[in-house]
Structure formats: structure tokens, C-alpha cells
Structure 1
Amino acid sequence: MNFSEAATEKLLMIADKISNQKHMSAIKNAFSTLMPVIITGAFCTLISNVVCSTTTNGISLAKVPGMAWLEFLQPIFTSANYATLNFFTIGAVVLIGLELGKTNKMKGYAPAFIALCSYVACCPSFINFTLENKEVIQVADVFGKDYTAAKGLFLGMVIAMLSVELFSWVVKSGKMKISMPDSVPPNVSNSFNVLFPAMFTIIAFSAINFGITQVTGMTLYDIIYTMLQKPLEAVMQGLPGLLILMLVAQLFWVIGIHGNQIIKPVREPLLNAAIMANTDMVNSGNFARGDLNVINMSFWDVYMSMGGSGVTIGLVIAIFIFSKREDYKGIAKLSLVPGIFNINETMTFGLPIMLNPIMAIPFIITPLITGTIGYVLTTIGFADVLVYAVPWTTPPILSAWLASGGSITCIITQVICMAVSILIYIPFVMAANKQKMASE
């Protein structure tokens, strides 16, 4: 076995372990389910600001003479935004609990609600509110936005996984099971079977949070957010961390494994939290450009995945212009329409790019370069920061326009990235021409 085969086999083993790891799978499935919620919230904020608002600093349809009546509809989209993005963590906790419960072969919906109750038990039931005179008062018996929106995401994920594992272990041990007569209906019997395990799990997490608060003066939320979530966000919102994550995904793609699915459990919580934080700041209207997260899920889709992974829209165009191979042109024709919607499996597996030494190189490096271009042009102030989530199937140009709320500079930046991708792929398309001629 040569080095290439050994490396491929090793990567396949790693990918298999990641894909089958139950906690990673639960997070991945939960975020796939939540994607429509994220996009709905972003869409409502976009409509609220660029259609219905008469006070926004940017362009708005409601500012056009005769269209001020649109402001009357703004509460519809504000409420929908609040119901989606501001309760994102709650949805994630419930879905992770449900998915992990299924993996642990727990029947019913109990794991989902155990996860939610355990999470709420670990969060403060008050908020500190600052009055206009700068006096700070404590409002009791409320659940703060920090714990329901993106900021509480990592604590929610950790509590959901740990609580369901503890609950499942106690149930399966049978030590707290209440035996009911056979005459009792199964649904009632099942409820009593998990009664004490549920009580034990929820009270245990409440006690853990209480103990930690008494010893350290910090809640579990403070500890997880300060020591885990913020450092990870700092890494991912720096260019090196983003490029490393993309590089890992591309390496898996070229050996025939869906790279995005492998990195999804790491990518989705961090980048989706970043884009939701941007949307929330835009919705509040109280922010500076420097407060916004340059790197987020929309940044990944708009500047690093045009035409699909590897920015293969550049490869399709390069083949149309420079390829002399009929097999390449045929695959490119089939890939054009799906590629417009960022679906490129026909290129990846049909050309193929997978295990193709010539095409694997530009496939790996192109998104790294376009991502760097997008980051540089955004940080120097040429392009606006992307603030709205968009479906990953949104065609280029339209995706930049929607994600930025109508910024021309973001569209120009995306066009620059596409042009660069074409230039990167051209030499390799020409090398493939020579390869074909040599084989003939």
C-alpha cells in the first residue's frame, strides 16, 4: 500500500468514526431541522428593515412616497423574528435531546423534555435591567434572552447531551423503575417507569448548577460561555480557523466523503450563532460595524461555496471556455443548472474531482483563496458585513444581495471571487486537455 492509499484509508476511518459518533450525529440532525427556522428569522428581519421600516438608516420601501403604510405591517415580521431567532437555543436543546434519545433507544419524547427542563434548571431565573437613570434593578421569575437565543447555545448543547445520557443510563439500569400491574395501560405504565429517572436527572442538574454557583460565584452559563463558547467563536471568527475548517472539508470531499457533513457538528453551532447575532443586532438598530461578525454561515455560503463545494462554478465556466475534452464539456453542461443552485455532485463524482490528482488541487485551494478575498475586502471596509442567513441553494449574486440586505459592494466582492475561481481552474483544465491527448 503506497502513501496515498494509506492516507485515504486513514481519512475514511476518521470520517466513519465522526459520522457514527452519536453526539455529533445528534447535533448535525438537530441543526438540519432548525435551518428553516434560522432562515425564516433572517427573512423576517430583512423584510422588516428593507420593506417596512421608516426609521432604518439604509434603503427601505416604506420610505418611498405613498408607501409609508407598510410600517403598519412591521409587527408581523418583528414577532416572527422573535419567535424564531430568539428561541433558537430552546429548539436546539429539544431536538438534540430527541435525536440522542432515539440513538439511545429511548421510546417517546421524554428525553427531549428532560433535556429542556435540565437546561432551564441550569439558567438564572432573573435578569438585571438598567433603567434610564442608570439604576440597575433585578427582575425575578423571567427567562433572559441570553439563554434562549444564540448566546446560550453551547450550554444548551452540553446540558442536552449530558442530561439525556444520564436519564438513559438511569432508565436502563432499572434501579428507579416503578413496576405497574399488567392491567395498567402501556402509556400510563411507561410514564411511571421514567418518573423517578426524570426527577433524578432534572434535580441533579439543578443541584450541580447551584453547587458551582455557590463555590465559584459563576453560573454554568457564565462558565461555558466564557471558557468554551467565546474562545471557539474567536477561533472561528478569525481567518485561520475558518480556512482550517474549510481545508478539512475539502480533503474529505476529494476522497469521496461529503466533507460538509463531516464538519457540520463543529461548523453549524459557531457560524449560525454568528449570523444570528448579526441579524439580532441589525434588528435592534443599536450596533456599530465593528460589533458585527465578519465570518458567519452566510460568509461561508456567499464567498466560499459558489456553485457548490470547491467553488466549482469557476470550473464549469473554465471548462466551457478552455476545455477540449468532450467528456468534460458533457459533464459541465449537465452541471450548469444544478451549479447555479450550488449543487455540484455531478461535477464532484461525474467529472470526477474525487480522487483526481489534477482537479483535486484547485478544488481544495479555491475556496481558501476566495474566502481570504472576501474576508480582506470586508475587513478593509470595501464590502459590507453579511447579516442575514440565506438558504445554501440561493444562486450567486442573489445570495450576496439577500445576505447583505442589498449591498452592491458585496455583489462586486462575490463576482471578484467567482472571477478568481475561474482563473485558478483554467491551468488545470488545460492540463486535463494535455492528459487526454497523451492517453490517446
Structure 2
Amino acid sequence: MSKFTDTASEKLLIVAGKISNEKHMASIKNAFYTLMPVILTGAFCTLITNVVCSTTTNGISLAKVPGMAWLGMFTDLFNAANYATLNFFTIAAVFLIGMELAKQNGLGEAPDAGVVAVCSFVAVLPTYVTTTVNDVEVTISNVLGKDYTAARGLFLGMVIALTSVEIYSALVKSHVFDFKMPDSVPANVTKSFSALMPFALTVLACAAVNFATSKLFNKSLYAIIYTFLQKPLESVMQGLPGLLILMLVAQLFWCIGIHGNQIIKAVRDPLLNAAILANTDLVAQGITDMSQYNIINMSFWDTYMSLGGSGCTLGLIIAIFLFSKRADYKAIAKLSTAPAIFEINECMTFGLPIVLNPYLVIPFIITPLITGTIGYFATASGFAGVALYAMPWTTPPIISAWLSTGGSIGAVITQIICIVVSVVIYTPFVLLANKEPVEEETAC
């Protein structure tokens, strides 16, 4: 390896480490790890409601089979679980991000910071909803709209969680508001009184910002954030060019041995998870206009751009079995086959290796960009169904396409096409690697 390459890799490693460990990024990333059961539970309940219990859905449902209509009695059960998870997803995210940031700020395990974040978030939300009843517009007061507590309010929730906990942490660590109490007073009581003023000032500060924007611009803080920040970001991230740029960044980091998905996770996950949650919510509402659904979301990423793991290395494994003459490649491919079925490919990435391998980094970078483009146009044209449900990222191919789209044969065919295309892309580079002298046997 050249001295220039060594120096460049070292500098990129330093940059990647700073990005990954930046406290706000780390707080969002850690919170979303914890939130995965919430996302998957809500998606599972909606899926079961529509493909098992519903007697009114337009698609296939087990409850429509003669003699199985009794399954419809469980609809309310799964709807309740769905409501408790997806419709309050943002509240859970705000609480967890607040706790994680407090930990990053040196406050230790601080559930009070999570409570501060939630209270501050609610303080900036409109407490009314407007609806139409018998063609008359009616305003209902003292309620929180689902738009704020479900996926659509996530961006504002993250902004408020990070901002409020930074204010709260600064006030607590200043010790200006500490209460001095006799030793006989329990420590928890003393701590509660010491947190009183920081808590109150933080929530009031957030409420004051929303109050000012409402008076000055006649818009809530939510409306301003959504219009000028969230919507433009969604337009970029949920469009094909933005998606490909994000994947390109991840792949470039992978090529020098840095976990690219971890680098982009704090940016990718909130927006793409919000997109799949919004789709699931539309399914629960019975919306059939597919133009309202987000083509690009977290399940789209996993279904078409991560076949066998980052770089779509399932295609590489198949190409090695078909065309490689190298014993070391074949040995690694055999060991990697079972993990690759569940989208795990570190054995390939670091075992062949793909990292810093001039024969494999090019197809490793371009393959997910091409398969993602294929998946996008197949979905946009209506050939493949839109991904509607969140799936565990370890769901095997074919199964993932079928389940995430609610049973779209077009999506399954598209995913198979993507696998074939990935084999075609990797094959010339595998043939080229056959000519490379093997210096030593590689073991995983």
C-alpha cells in the first residue's frame, strides 16, 4: 500500500471516528437502536391486521377465506398495539434521545432528562386539532394531534430533545440552582429540588420560543420546522439522488475499513424510518392512493440495496462460486454464505478482504447504487409494490421483499433481478482477481 493511501486512510479514520462519536449523532443513533422493537412491533401488528384479520381490505386476507371470518374479532387487538407503538413513536424517541444526550453530557443515567425532553416537546406543540364534521370545520381543544406524536413529528422531536437537554445539562452542571439540605434529607429529595429550577427554566424556554413564533409569524414552531427544514430534507432523502449519495458515502467508508452504515445512521435512520412508519400508518387508515406513499424508506434500503449485506455481496458470493479459481476466495465464500442469507457480510468485507482491495472496491461501491435504481423505477412504475412495513434488517432476501410490501410478487421478482444484476457486476472483477497472485491463504 502506498504512503499516500496510508495517510489518506488514517485521516479518514480520524474523521469517521469524530463523526460517529459526536455526542448528538451518538445520542440519536443509540436511541434508534432501542426503538427498533417499537418500530417492528407496530409494523407487525399492522401487517397481521391487514393480511390476517381484515375483512374489508382490498388485498388478500385470511379472514376473507370461507369459515375464517372469525379472525376479524382480533382486529381491535392488533390495532390497539399498533396505536400504542407507531402513533406514539416520536414521544418514545424524544425521551430516549434526551436520556442518551444527558449521558453524553456527563449526567449519568438521567431519566429526568428524558422527562425534560418530552415536556419541552409537548410545550411547543399545538394543543388542538381541526377536523370536518358534517361539512363543518370544527376545532377540538386540549388534544395532541397524531401528526405530532407519530412519525411526522419526529424531526421536531429530535430538535427539541437535543436542544432542551443541552439547556438542562448546562443549568444542572452550573450548580447555580443546587439546594443545600441537611444530611437527614434523602439524597433523592435533594436531587429533585436541585433539578427543579433547571427543569422549569428549560420547559419555559422551549414554550417561550413556540409562543414567540406563534405571535410573530402566526405559525407554530412545528409548522416552521416542518416547512423550512423537515420537508426539504425529506424531499432530498426520499428522492433517488439523495438516497444514492447517502449510499455512496457509506460505501466509501466501508472501502477503507470503517463501518459505513454507522457513519450515516444518525442521518439515515430518522428520515427513512419515519418514511416507512408513515407508509404503515397509511395502510392502517385504509388509504389506497399509492401516490401518498413513500417509495424510499428503510425497508426499501434493506430490500434492494443491502442484498447479503453492504455492497450487495450476495452477488459476489454467487459470482465466486461460479467463476473464481482462487481457493482462498472460495473458502471465504463458503463461510460467508449462511451469514449473507441474513444480510451479514463482515466475513466477506474483512475476510477476502473487500476493504482496500483494488479488484473489489469498485463493484462494492456501484452495485447497491445500481440495484437501488432498479428497485426505485420498478416501484415507481407500479411493477413492484411499495414497501409498507418495517422488517428486521436480517430478514433473508425474497422473504423481505414479500413481507415488506405486503405480498407483492413484483417486488420479489425485482429483488431477484437485483441479485442477478449484482452477480453480473461482480463477475468481471472476480475473473480479474483470478489473475492476482495469492500471497497467503486467508482465513475468516
Cα deviations across residues 76-108 of structure 1 (Å, max 9, x unaligned)?
A: 111111111111100100000000011112143
Alignment of 1:352-367 (within 5 A): 352-367=353-368
TM-score, length-normalised on structure 2? 0.97
List aligned pairs for 1:121-160, cutoff 5 A. 121-131=123-133, 133-160=134-161
Which position in structure 2 is the counterpart of 1:279?
A: 280
SS at match of 1:383: coil
Aligned match for 1:109, one of 108, 111, 123: 111
Distance in 2 (alpha carbons) for counterparts of 1:109 and 1:118: 14
Q: C-alpha distance in 2, partners of 1:200/1:293?
A: 39
Report the 3-state secondary structure (helix = DSSP H, G, I; strand = E; otherwise coil) of the residue aligned with 2:435. helix
Cα separation, 2, equivalents of 1:109 and 1:42: 27
The one-letter code sitting in structure 2 at the alignment partner of 1:419 is V
Give the Cα–Cα distance (whole angstroms) in 2 for the partners of residues 7 and 63 of structure 1.
61
Aligned to 1:226: 227
**SS of match in other structure, 1:352:** coil
Cα deviation, residue 289, structure 1: 1.0
Deviation at 1:204, TM superposition (A): 1.2
The match for 1:302 is 303
Q: Secondary structure at the match of 2:365?
A: helix
Counterparts of 1:184-203 in structure 2, within 5 Å, are 184-203=185-204
User: Secondary structure of the equivalent of 2:425?
Assistant: helix
Amino acid at match of 2:60: I
Task: Report the Cα offset of residue 309 of structure 1.
Answer: 0.3
Shift of 1:3: 4.1
Amino acid at match of 1:121: A
Aligned residue in 2 for 1:334: 335
3-state secondary structure, aligned to 1:194: helix
Q: Distance in 2 between matches of 1:341 and 1:437?
A: 29
What SS class does the counterpart of residue 8 from structure 2 fall into?
helix
How many residues of Structure 1 are paired with residues of Structure 2 in the alignment?
A: 439
Which residue of structure 1 lines up, in the alignment, with residue 122 of structure 2?
120
Please tell me whether the aligned partners of residues 325 and 436 of structure 1 are also in contact (alpha carbons under 8 angstroms): no
Fraction of identical pairs, as percent: 65
CA drift at 1:262: 0.5
Residues 2-25 of structure 1 show CA distances to partners (whole Å, capped at 9, x for unaligned) of 543343233212201111100000
Q: CA deviation at 1:327?
A: 0.5
The residue number in structure 2 matching 1:245 is 246
SS across alignment from 1:434: coil
- Partners of 1:33 and 1:362 in 2: how far apart? 33
Report deviation, 1:109.
1.3
Please tell me the root mean square deviation across aligned C-alpha atoms, in Å: 1.3
Counterpart Cα distance in 1 of 2:215 and 2:440: 74
Q: CA deviation at 1:212?
A: 1.2
Check 1:77–1:439 CA distance in 2 against 1; reply closer, same or farther (3 A cut).
closer
* CA distances 1:185-231 after superposition (whole Å, capped 9, x unpaired): 11111111111111111111111110111001111100111111110
The Cα offsets for residues 143-176 of structure 1, whole Å up to 9 and x where unpaired, read as 1101100111011000000100000101111122
Identify the residue that residue 172 of structure 2 maps to in structure 1: 171
Question: 1:178, CA displacement in angstroms?
Answer: 1.7
1:264-285 per-residue CA deviation (whole Å, 9 max, x = no partner) reads 0000011001001111101101
Residue number in structure 2 paired with 1:431? 432
